[in-house]
Structure 1
Amino acid sequence: MELDFLVSFLQERWFIIVGAIVVLFLVVRILKTVVKWVIVLAVLAGLFFYGASYKDQLLDIGAAVSTEAKNQAVKAFSNEMKEAQYKQNSDGTFTVTTKSLKLDGNPSSNEVKVTFMNQTFTMKMDEAVNALIEQAKKNTKL
């Protein structure tokens, strides 16, 4: 996870790092005193704290995207209930499919794995999910 953050930071904020390297190069070339090393440490500390706040921003954005994907999946549940299909798997689990989403779950669990728009996440079994499963069972018996 930490490596993903670092790669993302480097890809999206490379110009900050290049600027810091240029400043460090100029400081090391021009200044010949202890002040030089104080400035070098200050620039490095600034980069560190800037990167740390960037990580928090990524986490906030990731949470917002996840919440929005779950909200869109619930909307798709209600729109696609009429065509949902239920399948009982040999291992005791079930799969519900519609044209844009897929639910995989275990009847003894209170969570289902939802695949929506090529993204997979886990949702709690709430009223909307239970309604989709029940409707899919009815559709499959027809």
Structure 2
Amino acid sequence: MNTQVWSDFLQQNWLIIVIALIVLFVVLGLVKTMVKWAIAIIIVIALVVYSGVSLEKIKDVVNDVTTETVDTLKSEAMNLMMKEAKEAKYIADAAGNFTITTPNLELKGEKGKDKVDVSLRGVSLGKWKINDTVQSFINESKANGNAAK
């Protein structure tokens, strides 16, 4: 978020913020029930709404951070696929379902499906479409001699 916007907001509305904080502390000090928390939440929400920060903006920021994190993890997983393909252990069952494990990755797939479940260090990264890198990883794990049936 832009610090200049917050700085301008604080400079323009410092008196309202100070009054809201005083009321908040008085309420928290005097009221001894769950009502005080309800009043405190209402005061905080009122300040957030008054500041112009909408729930949509907060949601957008959360979505942006989530997307960046997932993209970073996917990129790291792809790099690890290329690095750890020689160590991969391929295990298939009679139905054609397979599991490929490396020190940091695990792929689970079903015969005839175009997606695999990918986990990085035990954290699921969801279902991935089998692209060239994933297919190359699967083929190399089958061929490198660590296959078990």
Match of 1:67 among 63, 66, 71: 71
Match of 2:97 among 90, 93, 98: 93
1:125 aligns with 2:130: yes
Q: Deviations over 1:28-71 (max 9, x none)?
A: xxxxxxxxxxxx89646336844431221011100010011000
Unpaired runs of at least 5, structure 2:
1-15, 24-42
1:77 aligns with 2:74: no
Residue 20 of structure 2 corresponds to which residue in structure 1? 23
User: What TM-score results when the alignment is normalised by the length of structure 1?
Assistant: 0.65
Aligned pairs (5 A) from 1:22-61: 23=20, 26=23, 43=47, 45-46=49-50, 49-61=53-65
Q: Runs ≥4 in structure 1, deviation > 3 angstroms?
A: 19-22, 40-45, 47-52
Unpaired runs of at least 5, structure 1:
1-18, 27-39
1:72/1:42 Cα in 2 relative to 1: closer, same or farther (>3 Å)? closer
> Which stretch of the first structure deviates more once superposed, 116-125 or 93-102?
116-125
1:138 aligns with 2:143: yes
| Secondary structure of residue in 2 paired with 1:95 | strand
